[in-house]
Amino acid sequence: MLATYNTNTRNIIINNIDTVNWPIIDDIKKVTLYRVLQELMVNMKKHSEATLVVLTFDVSTPKSLLFYYVDNGNGCLITQITKNGLQNVENRIRAINGTCIFDTAPEKGFKIKLSIPI
């Protein structure tokens, strides 16, 4: 799914996805992460005009899967998050007892950190 967003003008870099022990993660959490990634990719394609997107998976914390999304796109006001599909991202992550931290500003790109309990 992620590869379909890679184009001649946009580079998607995925770090450490192979270090995640996917079999120990509940299916509902995997589906949730998949849906969150879809939402982030759609928003990036429709709104951000990013040319570089970096997705990083981090399993250094034993009881959590950390996920970082960073792009060099337009960014947005933090207040806009409640008005679009990014609210769905936050709701999905909270539904599986995870946390979601947005870091964005106009013309500063978009960053999000997700923590999902394993």
Torsional class of 69: left (φ above 0), alpha (ψ -120 to 50), beta (otherwise): beta
Domains, the chain, in order of start with CATH, read 10-117 (3.30.565.10)
Q: Is residue 82 over pLDDT 70?
A: no
pTM: 0.91
Q: What is the pLDDT of residue 80?
A: 67
Q: Tens of pLDDT along 20-44?
A: 999 999 999 999 999 999 999 998 9
Instruction: Give the separation between CA 112 and CA 86, rounded to whole angstroms.
Output: 10
Q: CA 87, 83, 7 angle in degrees (round to 5)?
A: 70
Q: Tens of pLDDT along 83-101?
A: 667 888 999 999 999 999 9
Q: For the sheet containing 99-104, what is the strand order?
A: 11-15, 52-58, 64-71, 110-117, 99-104
Q: Report yes or no: 48 and 74 within 8 Å, Cβ to Cβ.
A: yes
